[in-house]
Chains A and B, each alone.
Chain A
């Protein structure tokens, strides 16, 4: 026999029933078990997605009704008012201000920590700093607020900058670990090329590594903004203020959106709860958009790098 073997018509026409490939023995039962498990996993995923969708729908349904121009521009009336008048203007402004302050502090520190861990740290120091950062990451956020209160607020008054500080404590570990990941992905050859050209180390870091890791750092920053915008616990004892008037002086307590949601809900007045739904809707929308933007940026930069 050479080259291609001729197909004997007999074997093609009559499949041997002894060798049928249908399930034998206990396979039928095992396949059913496997399918049940897979259905269970699908069900679990469906529950999670349903929970997300339901939450967003609930917030949207309750919150859209509260939105109006006055919602965004006016302040809340005097404490205890049950009416529907007033809005979250000062809180929105205050949130923006505090988040900005926190990010301005957190990003340089986080990136510098990442630089140190990647460029300078020996194995032992790396472990210590990394552990410290992970511990900070897992710290209950309310502890950040308690700490800042204890040092800066006790005996004095609430202030915007102490709130920003507490937010920064929450956010720095996030930026640090994400930046470290981004920096670690800068290919080794860039370093070698820079060294071969005799470029000073700081120039390499600032001019080669950071621009290369820029996408990851930006993504981390946006996610940190989203995180800081939604945090309540760090602000409870540091920057709590009822937003009667617009207050942007950071030496003073500053109202923020999540704090207002919390306060209004705990008070329980109908009008207040209505407004908190509106605020929740705005907050959720902002966080959603920030997440989507961060994801898009990450994908864009990954494509640029050819991943």
Chain B
């Protein structure tokens, strides 16, 4: 697009007034188009703001019926019988928390290690090659992961991993007797770990590269090993950023519906034994939302959606607050 601004002086030689006229006309068109641009941009922002607000209100609105009927009891009761108007979502919340926390812990350990690897420990060529691969892990769609989960991972876990873990750690009730099929909280944790891991790895990698080189040099010049330098300088400096990345990963785990619902077994029971099936809030919505038994059932599912929105907002806002604290502590 060509940028023509000043009027071609050649065409208006002689008449200063004519020149001024042309300039003023251009100014009017330009001013109008400036306004158009501004309004379009404002409109776009207003659109998403309104969408977000409308989303929250609409879902809350649809959940009111269930809320009036069940109150906060939904979150504490355990029986889920839609036909009998009995709704208890505690096992779902339990399942959500267990799967999300376990996968967060595993993904954090692996993700931070990978982040360190990609930013500090690995030679540049290796990091340049491995980095995109780790990011690609995040691009795999949930259905595909769910497909792999249910057809490949679940049987493998059921036949090999669960018995082995039970054999070694069976004294802990967490690792009780495996039931022989693979749809379980444990499989869901595994699947979620690989979905959250690349997020934390990519974010922490970016954070670690912001550590000032002079601090790293200072630590190295004092005769510290690489690990001591990381532990003493890199990690403390980036701690808020790491936590922020973890919260974003946590939010992802909390909200994942498809992959989880395909592997978790869909039972409304809160077992301590993670080898048994269970369910999460998002997964329950995915299963039952398109075929509600009655109006209260549908409203209850909207209620669950409100809970899910709350999870999403809390983890996101938390991540931003902590992330902002990192910017202010750095001097």
Contacts and interface: CB of A to CB of B under 8 A. Distances in A.
Interface of A: 27, 30-31, 33-34, 37-38, 40-45, 47-49, 51-52, 55, 58-59, 62, 108-110, 112-113, 115-117, 119-121, 128-129, 131-144, 146-147, 149-151, 169, 172-173, 176, 194, 197-203, 205-208, 211, 226-227, 229-233, 236-237, 240, 258, 261-262, 265-266, 273, 276-277, 280, 283-284, 287-288, 291, 295
B132 A202 contact: no
Given A109-B47, A142-B257, A233 B286 contact: yes
Interface residues of B, number: 93
A40 B113 CA distance: 7
A58 B155 CA distance: 14
Contacts of A34: 225-228
B147 A261 contact: yes
Contacts of A151: 54, 58
A231 B141 contact: yes
Closest 9 CB pairs of A and B: A140-B255, A230-B141, A200-B30, A116-B41, A112-B44, A138-B316, A44-B113, A34-B225, A34-B227
A230 B52 CA distance: 23
Contacts of A129: 45, 48-49
Interface stretch (B12-20, B31-39, B177-185, B269-277): B31-39
B169 interface: no
B320 A33 contact: no
A242 B226 CA distance: 57
Given A134-B320, A229-B141, 16 more contacts: A45-B130, A109-B48, A120-B41, A140-B308, A142-B308, A144-B55, A146-B289, A146-B302, A173-B48, A203-B5, A206-B1, A206-B37, A237-B290, A265-B150, A265-B262, A273-B151
Contact of A138 (B42, B116, B201, B315): B315
Main secondary structure of the interface of B (DSSP, over half): helix
B141 A287 contact: yes
B3 interface: yes
A146 B147 CA distance: 23
A45 B122 contact: yes
A41 B262 contact: no
A229 B152 CA distance: 23
B91 interface: no
Contacts of B209: none
B226 A141 contact: no
B142 A116 contact: no
A267 to B, nearest CB: 12
B143 A262 contact: yes
Interface string B106-143: 00011001101110011000000010111111011111
Given A116-B45, A197-B5, A280-B147, A202 B34 contact: yes
Contacts of B285: 142, 146
A45 B140 CA distance: 17
A208 B137 contact: no
Contact of B114 (A48, A133, A233, A276): A48
Contacts of A37: 226-227, 230
